[in-house]
Structure 1
């Protein structure tokens, strides 16, 4: 196989049956004919670290880097960090993970209340979940960061497709503003 860096290397396939190994071997040959094949595929956590340091930080605005780093550290790496980028990360994995993030109290998941001093704990650490769910915009931002990272991954030919681009999210509904009544307006003026 030719690797993305231009060097040649061997790649092995394994399976439980001869047919399974043959199918993997055929797929591997098709990938080799299409272009370079990655022999060592990083995990999502390793790739996000590389991507943030080498692609995002030198090329984008500092606030963009800070936002991407925060979303990566708080959501992507804890949720998908152990998955390998190749065939181990599927559209189904990303879709179910994003759906779970949208329904999970982030105070509980990230241990926000547990890090507070014992006298200031008020919800999850004392057994009362505060239901601090991420907004639809936050979930969309998480997907956008993962999608951007995986787009670079496709460019570097570590994966064949960007699975995050195929994930569906519910539309963001505009919040209805609450206007003051005439009495409230007079009271605040």
Structure 2
């Protein structure tokens, strides 16, 4: 039977907030700004929940990796890193497209609705950028986990203290 934590990880890695799955058309929502505002609010709540779930998942994965769990091996983590990073590339492009379209929509909007479009669009953009930032951060976590589990790296010095790392690098670089 598949491990529930790994299934949860797969869900976490594949879930995307609605803002990126179906980019919001801010200008078209200007007439019904209450509806769009609710959409933005629900996206903000979803990203908060996603971040919390990611933190919990990180702690569990890190603990399992160091407990000798046989279901969570180097190859599994390596495939997760590849899969997750591959999914982030289009997300980054989507955020850039949304940023561009928001500028265009604000520029082309009627003067009376321009401020509202910009306000709601910026909130949505912050949510999109936050999702991408959290995704990039999670990818770095997965890379660190992969490095920690790499059988070729066993016995190599690791550093939790940045000052110790700097001293090591300066000593060995000279």
**So what's the TM-score if we normalise by structure 1?**
0.27
Whose Rg is larger?
1
**So what's the TM-score if we normalise by structure 2?**
0.29
Larger RCO of the pair (alpha carbons < 8 Å, separation 6+): 2
Structure (1 or 2) with the greater helix fraction: 2
